[in-house]
């Protein structure tokens, strides 16, 4: 079967990193054709509008701006993104919430191959999800805008964080209960979501994370239990009790 060609642009401020990535792509990902390179945010926005690539390798931190500034300037474009970054806890949380693909520096050839293959599948599927917009919203310190992209059998589903009432561990899966009464089952451990979701999400039990905006009552006890807006009663483990109470302090 013929491999679909992917037109790509590299946005990276370090010449050595650009050359290394180009060499890796030429040798290990021949389906990728690099059609342009930008070394700063301003040039990147102009080049992306000019070339309109299918894929962008986007350095997260650059002089006089960052990847999120580039995405803001390209809201009208539709391309897939593989972020390239040195470790940054806040940036990685935004990327992970958005189910974005990223590579940590120095770039691993094996991880590069996997990321390109997965993005290539997304380009072929054309699922209509604007992942870059989700990344932009999740990078803003505004809970009202933040979203999760949940992997499903058919692809992805986007949900607003503020609409998530609670999450329950279910073996290798997590059940996500929404404000509208719907439930979504995702093939991820509860620990995965504990690492992604910050306040107002609080873990109150080995099997439960809740959005405290939906707490109606707390009943005291060794650990006690909470009553949520939908009437559900969720046990609070003694070991998580103080964590819950601090969230209301």
Q: Does residue 19 share a domain with residue 125?
A: yes
Mean pLDDT of 221-231: 93
pLDDT 10s digits, 192-217: 888 888 889 999 999 999 999 999 99
Q: Tell me, what's the pLDDT at 63?
A: 77
pLDDT 10s digits, 100-159: 788 888 899 999 999 999 889 888 877 656 777 878 777 776 667 788 878 776 666 888
| CATH at residue 240 | 2.40.50.1020
Q: Tell me, what's the pLDDT at 163?
A: 94
Specify if 146 maps to a domain: no
Domain that holds residue 43: 6-138
Q: Does residue 124 share a domain with residue 10?
A: yes
Q: Does residue 168 share a domain with residue 206?
A: yes
Which span out of 33-37, 78-82, 125-129 was modeled with the highest average pLDDT? 33-37
Q: Does residue 134 share a domain with residue 173?
A: no
Residue 180, number of CB atoms within 10 A of its CB: 8
Specify if 236 maps to a domain: yes
Specify if 195 maps to a domain: yes
Tell me which of 231 and 61 has the higher pLDDT: 231
Q: Does residue 166 share a domain with residue 131?
A: no
Q: Does residue 89 share a domain with residue 124?
A: yes
The residues near 207 (Cβ < 8 Å, ≥ 6 apart) are 168, 169, 190
As a whole-number percent, the residues of the chain with pLDDT over 70 amount to: 90
Q: Does residue 163 share a domain with residue 126?
A: no
Specify if 85 maps to a domain: yes
Specify if 34 maps to a domain: yes
Report the half-sphere exposure of 244 (CA within 13 A, side-chain side).
Answer: 26
Query: Is the pTM above the cut of 0.85?
Result: no
| CATH at residue 49 | 3.40.50.2300
The last residue of a domain, from among 82, 104, 138: 138
Confidence of residue 1 (pLDDT cuts 50, 70, 90): very low
Q: Tell me, what's the pLDDT at 208?
A: 97
Q: Does residue 133 share a domain with residue 43?
A: yes
Q: Does residue 110 share a domain with residue 31?
A: yes
Q: Tell me, what's the pLDDT at 65?
A: 86
The residues near 143 (Cβ < 8 Å, ≥ 6 apart) are 161, 162, 200
The tally of domains found in the chain comes to: 2
Specify if 151 maps to a domain: no
Q: Tell me, what's the pLDDT at 97?
A: 67
Nearest to 13 by CA among 55, 90, 53, 70: 70
Mean pLDDT of 8-16: 95
Q: Does residue 208 share a domain with residue 100?
A: no
Specify if 152 maps to a domain: no
Q: Does residue 174 share a domain with residue 111?
A: no
Q: Does residue 125 share a domain with residue 60?
A: yes
Q: Tell me, what's the pLDDT at 165?
A: 97
The last residue of a domain, from among 71, 105, 138: 138
Return d(Cα 89, Cα 58) in angstroms, integer. 17
Specify if 148 maps to a domain: no
């Amino acid at each position: 079967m013929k491999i679909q060609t992917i037109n790509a642009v590299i946005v990276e401020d370090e010449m050595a990193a650009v050359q290394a990535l180009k060499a890796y792509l030429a040798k290990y990902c021949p389906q990728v054709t690099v059609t342009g390179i930008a070394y700063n945010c301003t040039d990147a926005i102009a080049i992306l509008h000019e070339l309109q690539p299918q894929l962008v390798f986007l350095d997260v931190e650059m002089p006089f701006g960052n990847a999120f500034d580039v995405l803001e300037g390209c809201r009208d474009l539709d391309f897939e993104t593989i972020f390239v970054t040195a470790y940054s806890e806040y940036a990685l949380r935004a990327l992970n919430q958005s189910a974005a693909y990223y590579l940590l520096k120095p770039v691993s050839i094996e991880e590069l191959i996997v990321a390109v293959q997965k993005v290539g599948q997304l380009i072929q599927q054309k699922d209509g999800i604007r992942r870059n917009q989700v990344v932009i919203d999740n990078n803003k310190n505004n809970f009202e805008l933040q979203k999760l992209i949940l992997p499903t059998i058919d692809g992805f589903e986007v949900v607003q964080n503020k609409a998530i009432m609670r999450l329950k561990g279910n073996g290798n899966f997590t059940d996500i209960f929404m404000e509208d009464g719907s439930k979504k089952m995702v093939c991820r451990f509860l620990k995965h979501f504990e690492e992604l979701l910050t306040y107002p999400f609080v873990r109150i039990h080995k099997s439960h994370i809740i959005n405290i905006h939906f707490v109606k009552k707390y009943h005291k006890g060794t650990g006690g239990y909470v009553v949520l807006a939908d009437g559900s009663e969720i046990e609070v483990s003694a070991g998580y009790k103080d964590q819950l109470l601090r969230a209301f302090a």
